[in-house]
Amino acid sequence: MESVSTQPHHPAHKSHELSAVTIRFCGDSGDGMQFTGSEFTRVSALAGNDLQTLPDYPAEIRAPVGTLAGVSGFQVQFSSAPVFTPGDAPEVLVAMNPAALKSNLADLVRSGTLILNSGAFTKQNLDKAGYTSNPMEDGSLAAYRVHAIDISKLTATALADTGLSAREIARAKNMFALGLMLWMYSRPMEATVKFLEQKFAKMPDVAAGNVKALKAGYYFGETAEIFTETFVVRAAELPKGTYRSISGNEATALGLVATSELSGLKVFLGTYPITPASDILHELSKHRNFNVNTFQAEDEIAAVCASLGASFGGSLGVTSTSGPGVALMQETISLALTVELPMLVINVQRGGPSTGLPTKTEQADLLQAIFGRNGEAPLPVLAASGPADCFDAVLEAARVAIRHMTPVILLTDGFIANGQEPWKLPEAEQLAKFAPKFRTDPKDYHVYERDPKTLARAWVRPGTPGLEHRIGGLEKHKLTGNVSYDPDNHEEMVRTRAEKVARVADDIAPLSILGPKSGDVLVLGWGSTCGAIQQAVQQLQAKGHSISAVHLRHLNPLPKDLGEILARFKKVVIPELNLGQLQMLVRARYLVDAQGIHKIKGKPFRVSELKSALEGYLS
Partner 1 sequence: MTETVQSKLTRKDFQSDQEVRWCPGCGDYVILAQVQKMMPELGIARENIAFVSGIGCSSRFPYYMNTYGFHTIHGRAPAIATGLKASRPDLQVWVVTGDGDALSIGGNHFIHVLRRNVDLKILLFNNRIYGLTKGQASPTSELGKKAKSTPYGTIDAPFNPMHLALGAGATFVARTSDADPVHMTEMLRRVAQHKGSAFLEILQNCVVFNDAAFESFTAKDMRASRQIYLEQGKPLVYAGGTKGLRLVDGHPEVLDLASGKAPGEPMIWNEQAEVSAAFALSTCAAPDFPEPVGVLRAVDAPVHHILQESQSDAVRKKLGAGNLAKLLTSGDTWTIS
Ligand X SMILES: Cc1ncc(C[n+]2csc(CCOP(=O)(O)OP(=O)(O)O)c2C)c(N)n1
String marking each residue 315-334 x if it binds a second copy according to CB under 8 A? -------xxx-xxx-xx--x
Cβ proximity to ligand X, 271 vs 293, nearer residue: 271
Stretch that binds partner 1, among 64-72, 113-121, 539-547, 605-613 (CB under 8 A): 64-72
- Print the binding letters for residues 188-227 with partner 1: x by CB under 8 A, - otherwise: ---x------------------------------------
The residues binding ligand X (CB under 6 A) are 272-274, 300, 324-325, 328, 355
Q: How far is the CB of 427 from partner 1 (least distance, A)?
A: 8
Q: Give least dist CB 35 to ligand SF4, A.
A: 18
Applying CB under 6 A, the residues found at the interface with ligand SF4 are 61-62
Site for partner 1, residues 128 to 157, rule: CB under 8 A = none
The entry of a second copy, partner 1, ligand SF4, none near residue 53 (CB within 5 to 8 angstroms by kind) is none
Distance CA 175, CA 192 (A): 10
Under the criterion CB under 8 A, does residue 498 sit at the interface with a second copy?
Answer: yes
Per CB under 8 A, contacts with a second copy among 51-70 are: 58-59, 69
Contact between 40 and partner 1 (CB under 8 A)?
no
User: If binding is defined by CB under 8 A, does position 130 make contact with a second copy?
Assistant: no
- The rounded Cα 127 to chain-centroid distance in angstroms is 35
Nearer Cβ to partner 1 (426/580)? 426
| 272 part of the interface to partner 1, by CB under 8 A | yes
- Considering only CA atoms, which of 242, 278, 427, 424 is closest in space to residue 350? 278
Identify which of residues 270 and 325 has a Cβ nearer to ligand X in the complex.
325
- Provide Rg for the chain, Cα atoms: 27
Contact 35, 174 (CB under 8 A): yes
Residues in 475-514 at the binding interface with partner 1, rule: CB under 8 A: 482-483
Which value, to the nearest 10 degrees, does the dihedral of the CA atoms of residues 396, 400, 403, 404 take?
Answer: 180
As measured in angstroms, the least distance from the Cβ of 376 to a second copy is 5
The single residue among 193, 297, 505, 600 that binds a second copy, judged by CB under 8 A, is 600
**Type of residue found at 213:** A
Contacts of 472 (CB under 8 A, 6+ apart): 339, 483
Q: Report if residue 374 touches partner 1, rule: CB under 8 A.
A: no
Element (H, E) at 572: strand 569-576
Cβ proximity to ligand X, 276 vs 525, nearer residue = 276
Cross-strand pairs, 316: 267
Rounded distance, CA 402 to CA 459, Å?
9
Question: Could you tell me whether strands 316-321 and 513-514 are parallel, antiparallel, or unpaired per DSSP bridges?
Answer: unpaired
* Torsion over CA: 388, 393, 396, 401 (sign): negative
Smallest gap from Cβ 375 to ligand X, in A, equals: 13
- What amino acid is encoded at 552 in this protein? L
Strand partners, 477: none
Opening angle at CA 407, ends 585 and 353, nearest 5: 55
Out of 161, 298, 593, 619, the residue judged to bind a second copy by CB under 8 A: 593
Cβ nearer to a second copy, comparing 105 with 388: 105
Q: Which of 356, 516, 519, 563 binds a second copy (CB under 8 A)?
A: 356
Element (H, E) at 73: strand 71-79
Which is nearest to 146 in space by CA: 94, 206, 71? 94
CA distances from residue 392 to 66, 257, 396, 397, 398 in whole angstroms, order as listed: 41, 12, 6, 9, 10
- Answer for which of 20, 181, 196, 377 binds a second copy (CB under 8 A) is 377
The stretch near partner 1 (CB under 8 A) out of 147-155, 207-215, 421-429, 575-583 is: 421-429
Question: Minimum distance from CB of 95 to ligand X (Å)?
Answer: 29
**Are 572 and 597 contacting, i.e. CB atoms less than 8 angstroms apart?**
no
Q: Residue 4's closest CA among 181, 236, 228?
A: 228
- Rounded CA-CA distance 47/36 in Å is 17
Contact residues toward a second copy (CB under 8 A) are 58-59, 69, 322-324, 326-328, 330-331, 334-335, 337-339, 349, 351-360, 362, 364-365, 367-368, 370-377, 472-475, 483, 485, 487-488, 490-491, 494-495, 497-498, 578-579, 584-585, 587-589, 591-593, 599-603
